[in-house]
Chains A and B, each alone.
Chain A
Amino acid sequence: MSIECGCGRRDFIRLTIGSSLAAFAPLSLALQETRTSRATRMILLWMAGAPSQLETLDPKPGCGKFQAIDTEVSGVRISEHLPKVARRMKKISLVRTVHSKDPNHDTATYLLHTGYRKAPDTSHPHFASVLANELGGRGDLPGCVVIGGSPPAGSSYLDSESGPVVFDKLENPAEDVKLAKGVSRERLEKRWKLLREFESPFVRNHESTALQERTRAYERAYRVLTSKRVSAFDVAQESDAVRAKYGRTPFGDACVIARRLLEADVRFVEVMLADWDTHTDNFNRHEKLLQTLDPAWSALVGELSDRRMLDETLVLWMGEFGRTPTVNGSEGRDHFTRAWSVALSGGGVAGARVVGETDEQGMAIRSRPVSVPDLFATVYSCFGVDPRKEFTTQGGRPIKILEGGEAVKELF
């Protein structure tokens, strides 16, 4: 069975051409810089596999099976399966017209983590590494932590210290940082001293970047293990009531940990929720995923706000692209890059804004297209990082933090 949105292929092409022309229209609405606060830290809720904008933040009546509901911001409607997020909408702003040209998961995931298209000859840093590098580290814990999966980019040409430290499992990410059974802190310290002493001649005798990297990675790991702040990874130190608010799922707990890590001076935490690639059974699978997402996301924004952390914490929700307004023969939605939605809170971003509008079927952008570089320029501008700053790649080529892109001023 297939559900049609009543949007023919010819219309589709016409709308696409129209919208790309619109991109050249002068955006003279640029607002005055009125920011009162700057972001100093960030949480990225990464929806791996690409969530459907239609089942989340840009619902279209008649284009699916879910209903739209009102939010606490009048006139802004989102999916019925995000009721708790709807009640936080004054703290959240939406961009409904992000677009790209990359429909492949791996390269699009790279694009949405670096701001750059994947190139055969150059690697680009994870944008969190740029932030950590520009803003500096603050303590024993790493500047960037990723929980629940593998990000597509690392520190690249930046200092490896700014690279993301990955905890691949959503469930119990603290597994590797909690001292192992039978190994007291004293014993670890003794072993460490013995290790350093033993390997120092070998390390001295071999000048190699790879070896330096390895040694720094070990030093960082040791600092994490022996830091007082490592207990930030321990979700069990939170009350049941707090964990319940986040939904008590592995993703919810990871969001609690993300907040705890920021409190322990980590700059950036990415939490991944996977399985959005719904080529089949789109609606049931989205309903299930949204049950996990809704409490965790809304509680995170709520708690950051209650603890007065939201002003300096940017929370970004996004995936690598959107999903087709048409439903395929397997009740699924395929990859769609012409218009999809992301959400931002805090870090100087005003709440309750909606930027960009898609047409009735969600097939094309009606107003205010936002490119991926625009989105990244927005993030960097929240932190006061100049995206035109130049670095030199390992290959000796000059490269800017970001190529093109203008911050979306309507969000501030």
Chain B
Amino acid sequence: MRWIFVLLPLVQDSNPVDLFFEAEGPRKPSGPAEDAVFLRRLTLDLAGRLPREEEIRAFLKSRDRAKEVDRLLSSEDAATYFADLWMQWLFDYDFEIRDLYAVDFSALHAWLKKQFQEDRPYGEFVRALLADRGNRKERPAVNFALKHVRRGEPPVKLAVMSARLFLGRDIRCAQCHDDPFVESFKQEHFWGYLGFFRPLAASGYGLEERENQSYGGMIADHMGEKRVAPRFLDGRLPEKDERIGDALARLTLSTPEASRAIVERMWRLLMARPIPPKLLAALAEDWEKHGGRIRHLLRRIVRSRAYQLSSAGGGPAREAYLAGPFKAMNLVQFMNSFSDAFDLHRWHDEMFRRAIKDPKALEIFKDREVMRLFFHKWSKDMVFPKGADPEATDSTGTVRLALKLMNNDKIQSMVISGWGTLSRVLSKKSRPADRIELLFLTLLGRLPQRPELDRFVSHVESATFPEKGYEDVFWVLVNSAEFLFVH
């Protein structure tokens, strides 16, 4: 078992993930992912972007996986990536123009980033999102509620999102009827839970509590609104004189579901498979014991043997965790990789610079985070098939994305030897084989194998104009399945 030897330095601290799979009995997993493949996977998973040439070369020398995990986790890119993801999660992957007025995106993003950078305990993070009140710049966590509360409407969406994110529960059915699958979950539970959010209202530039808010009008009627006093999903009630937000945070964080929800979310993010229930319990317990910090959880998962396996193989083997994770890039990973490959950062900067200078542009569009949200929305439409719930789908690669990447005029105008990545590669190296090698490293995070190298070199050499040949190679690599998948 060669791979155990390779991975041994990583598993000295009894990782509950490894312990779980060991206890499953004898298993024949695929071999470990090769170093370059592992680094690409890890960099995409922890920093949301492709590894850079220097990083790959350094890692191929050091081969120190544990050090690489820590280096990436403490990088600014990791904080930005997880802040980007939380923005998508908190906003349910969408926003409307009205949200641009209601929410301070920059303040929230900066706050989310700081939580990750300082590795604040997850409990504090949840408490802020559920219980903070006040000005949206001073208490940036209130922007979560501000996104979902609307004047004159019961805060159903906010309750649904809070239960989904912080308890891992889908409570939507019970808005209209008793849950047919969970006997203990009745319609009154939904409305009791909603009671915690009912007093919330946007006021000026912040979030406040108002007593006895009523929601008249047709929308409330349609939803069969029930006015029930705050009562947690498991029946517990707020203490006397307890602030309602504090009560909600306390009740949420004192359920076992709270830890499990975040453990499961991160597991799915990295492993792209359901987590076995026993492992979930063990990992959640380990996580709580170690202070409930996100980085510990991420470290546990990516340092496990299951994460480090090669992804090659069949679906059933992967389902059984006999192969490593294989998944399409999520929308943030795709946007970052796509921007890196096509050197769009320059273009983004230019767009933002123009927006700031434009006297006619609305103030709300002069927010860098707002612009990034628009990019991520575009990315979502490219990566996910129509109607697919990004939380639930594992399919990707729409015809629309294929048409854009293969043929869109604006994108093709960047697949030229005089632009971006390709122009840098061509000016840095002169031998065809070196150029192809650098293109592979930059776009796919690995060196070409011999036959691949030969094939592409001969393609370039047989082209009437060599630079056209390199353009073709660049086109092939960015359109390849290998580019689009985290493997």
Chain A contact residues, CB within 8 Å of chain B = 101-103, 110, 120-121, 123, 126, 142, 146, 150-156, 160, 163-168, 175-183, 187-188, 190-191, 194-195, 197-199, 202-203, 205-211, 213-215, 217-218, 220-222, 224-225, 324, 334-337
Contact = CB atoms under 8 A, between A and B. Distances in A.
Interface in B270-329: 311-315, 318, 326-328
Contacts of B476: 191, 194-195, 198
Nearest to B312: A205
B70 interface: no
Interface string B378-420: 0001000111110010111111111110111101110010000
Nearest to A192: B406
Given A164-B386, A220-B402, A198 B397 contact: no
Contacts of A203: 481
B62 to A, nearest CB: 27
Contact of A224 (B387, B388, B399, B409): B399
B328 A156 contact: no
Interface string B165-188: 000001011000000000000000
Instruction: Give 10 nearest A-B pairs by CB, closest first.
Output: A214-B397, A221-B402, A180-B412, A153-B387, A154-B386, A176-B403, A154-B387, A205-B312, A207-B314, A213-B395
Given A155-B385, A188-B407, A190-B472, A211 B314 contact: no
8 contacts: A103-B218, A103-B219, A103-B222, A151-B386, A187-B472, A198-B480, A199-B480, A205-B313
B482 interface: yes
A192 to B, nearest CB: 8
A160 B311 CA distance: 24
Contact of A206 (B400, B459, B479, B487): B487
Contacts of B311: 206
Interface residues on B, range: 35 or more
User: Chain B: interface secondary structure?
Assistant: helix
Contacts of B313: 205-207
B412 A217 contact: no
Contacts of B314: 207
B400 A211 contact: no
Given A198-B476, A210-B394, A213-B396, A337 B385 contact: no
A175 B388 contact: no
A160 B397 CA distance: 11
A197 B455 contact: yes
A165 B401 CA distance: 10
A225 B398 contact: no
Interface in B462-487: 472-473, 475-477, 479-482, 484-485, 487
A283 to B, nearest CB: 21
Nearest to A221: B402
A168 B408 CA distance: 13
Interface of B: 170, 172-173, 217-219, 222, 311-315, 318, 326-328, 381, 385-389, 392, 394-404, 406-409, 411-413, 416, 452, 455, 459, 472-473, 475-477, 479-482, 484-485, 487
B480 A179 contact: no
B407 A176 contact: yes
Contact of A213 (B318, B389, B397, B459): B397
A160 B386 contact: no
B397 A225 contact: no
A17 B315 CA distance: 54
Contacts of B409: 175, 178, 180-181
Interface centre among B170, B313, B475 (most CB of A within 10 A): B475
Contacts of A175: 408-409
Contacts of B487: 202, 206
Contacts of A103: 218-219, 222
B280 to A, nearest CB: 20
Nearest to A110: B387
A182 B452 CA distance: 26
A183 B387 CA distance: 32
B402 A183 contact: no
Contacts of B475: 191, 195
**Residue in A213, A222, A225 with the greatest tally of chain B CB atoms within 10 Å:** A213
B480 A214 contact: no
A168 B400 CA distance: 9
Contacts of A165: 399-400
Nearest to B389: A123
B312 A206 contact: yes
A163 B396 contact: no
Contacts of A101: 222
B485 A194 contact: no
A209 B170 CA distance: 26
Contacts of A337: 222
Contact of B394 (A152, A156, A209): A209
B310 to A, nearest CB: 9
A202 B477 CA distance: 12
A383 B327 CA distance: 38
Nearest to A165: B399
B395 A160 contact: yes
A176 B408 contact: yes
Given A176-B404, A194-B459, A205-B312, A181 B398 contact: no
Contact of A163 (B217, B385, B413, B485): B385
Contacts of A167: 400
Contacts of A155: 385
Contacts of A195: 475-476, 479-480
Given A176-B404, A202-B481, A225-B406, A160 B412 contact: no
A23 to B, nearest CB: 18
Contacts of B318: 207-208
A142 B416 CA distance: 30
A209 to B, nearest CB: 6
Contact of B485 (A166, A206, A218, A334): A206
Contacts of A156: 387
Given A103-B219, A202-B480, A202-B482, A150 B408 contact: no
B387 A151 contact: yes
A156 B477 CA distance: 30
Contacts of A176: 400, 403-404, 407-408
A190 B455 CA distance: 13
Contacts of A324: 218
A177 B326 contact: no
